[in-house]
Amino acid sequence: MSPSHTCVCLLLAMVAVKSCGANIFRIEAESTKDDLPKIDRSNASNKKDVLLYQNEMLSFKFCLKGKTPVGIKNVMYSNDGGADKCVLNFNTKKVGEFESTTATDFGKLWNVFKSSGSLGSAMTLDSGRNTVILFVKSADDYGIEIDHIDVDVGDDEVTEEIFTCNID
């Protein structure tokens, strides 16, 4: 990782939702302890999000019990300006990317959240610690705001305690 990249380790408020033999874990971007702008947004899931600029990233470590298919179900974001491109990785492997919409209403669109939808295909990851990374590959001068990332874990025995690595 080059020095121009900002790495953000997240300590997250999470919500686990059961869905067809899988768990969806919501990673709230604003729960990071790192020094990134946390913006008040009344329409964000927890009323805050994180502002990122080009070459900045969010990174979150999570744990799995065994080899497990894992995917990105959704990224909620807002943007008011030109398109921004974000890339998501599990560990060092690219999962997918999305591009924000180009639109402006002189700042009013920052509180209008959009969904990336599912990105790429699920990847089988090893047991133990893994990392999900959101990297802003390109952005206009105003950046992009990230509300949350939904991670789809294909093992219904992975609990929030396991996912957040709070195990003995």
Give the total number of structural domains in the chain: 1
Tokens of 105: 């209403």
User: 73 lies in a domain?
Assistant: yes
The predicted pLDDT at position 81 comes to: 96
User: 2 lies in a domain?
Assistant: no
Q: What's 150's domain CATH number? A: 2.60.120.260
Give per-residue pLDDT as tens, 141-168. Answer: 999 999 999 999 999 999 999 999 986 5
The predicted pLDDT at position 31 comes to: 74
Output the 3-class SS for the chain. CCCCCECCECCCCCCEEEECCEEEEEEEHHHCCCCCCEEECCCCCCCEEEEECCCEEEEEEEEECCCEEEEEEEEEEECCECCCEEEEEECCEEEEEEECCCECCCCHHHHCCEECCCEEEEEEECCEEEEEEEEEEECCCCCEEEEEEEEEECCCCCCHHHHCCCCC
Mean confidence (pLDDT) of the chain: 88
User: 138 lies in a domain?
Assistant: yes
The predicted pLDDT at position 19 comes to: 44
The predicted pLDDT at position 33 comes to: 67
pLDDT class of 21 with cuts at 50, 70, 90: low
> Does residue 1 surpass a pLDDT of 50?
no
User: 94 lies in a domain?
Assistant: yes
Give per-residue pLDDT as tens, 22-42. Answer: 699 999 998 776 788 999 999
> Does residue 134 surpass a pLDDT of 50?
yes
Q: Which residue has the higher pLDDT, 33 or 99?
A: 99
Question: Tokens 């919501």 belong to which residue?
Answer: 26
> Does residue 89 surpass a pLDDT of 90?
yes
| Residues spanned by the domain of 143 | 16-163
User: 7 lies in a domain?
Assistant: no
